[in-house]
């Protein structure tokens, strides 16, 4: 079973940047697709990024495209999410997730992911 641990959250002003990390307990780059989701207070969890190791492909919803960047470091079994030009509406708990697939399917659907981290809080002040 893959264990995921997120870090890097915090409080930042609008327009600022953060980099979140997701460390996996085992090598994920050959067998898993990695994703990031977020959940704002009173809202459903939403997809923000996915990374497919085997082809180094990335996927983002329009709400974060051009501002967020996901990338993986296979040597350290870690996936990062770089958050730039942050807005107050980006506030929420950010979760890392792993899907047991080499190619990815339903990347934006949280039900398609098999393992989850505990989350890290990101707060963007106006």
SS (H, E, C) the chain: CCCEEEECCEEEECCCCEEEEEEECCCCCCCCEEEEEEECCCCCCEEEEEEEHHHCEEECCCCCCCCEEEEEEHHHCEEEEEECCCCHHHCEEEEEEEECCCCCCCCCCHHHCCEECCCEEEEEEC
- CA 104 to CA 90: how far, in whole Å? 25
Question: Can you give the pLDDT at residue 1?
Answer: 85
Question: Can you give the pLDDT at residue 55?
Answer: 86
Question: Can you give the pLDDT at residue 30?
Answer: 72
Q: Are 103 and 52 in contact (CB under 8 A)?
A: yes
Strand partners, 111: none
Question: Can you give the pLDDT at residue 106?
Answer: 95
Name the more confident of 1 and 124. 124
pLDDT band of residue 101 (cuts 50, 70, 90) is: very high
| Token pair of 9 as six digits | 């959250």
Question: Can you give the pLDDT at residue 27?
Answer: 81
**Sign of the torsion formed by the C-alpha atoms of 112, 19, 83 and 14:** positive
Average pLDDT (19-46) is: 92
């Amino acid at each position: 079973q893959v264990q995921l641990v997120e870090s890097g959250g915090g409080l930042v002003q609008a327009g600022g940047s953060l980099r979140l990390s997701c460390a996996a307990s085992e090598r994920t780059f050959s067998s898993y697709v990695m994703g990031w989701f977020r959940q704002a207070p009173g809202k459903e969890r939403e997809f923000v990024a996915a990374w497919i190791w085997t082809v180094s492909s990335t996927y983002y919803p329009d709400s974060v495209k051009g501002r967020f960047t996901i990338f993986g470091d296979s040597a350290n079994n870690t996936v990062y999410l770089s958050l730039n030009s942050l807005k107050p509406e980006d506030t929420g708990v950010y979760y890392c997730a792993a899907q047991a697939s080499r190619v990815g399917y339903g990347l934006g659907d949280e039900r398609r992911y098999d393992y989850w981290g505990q989350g890290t809080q990101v707060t963007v002040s106006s």
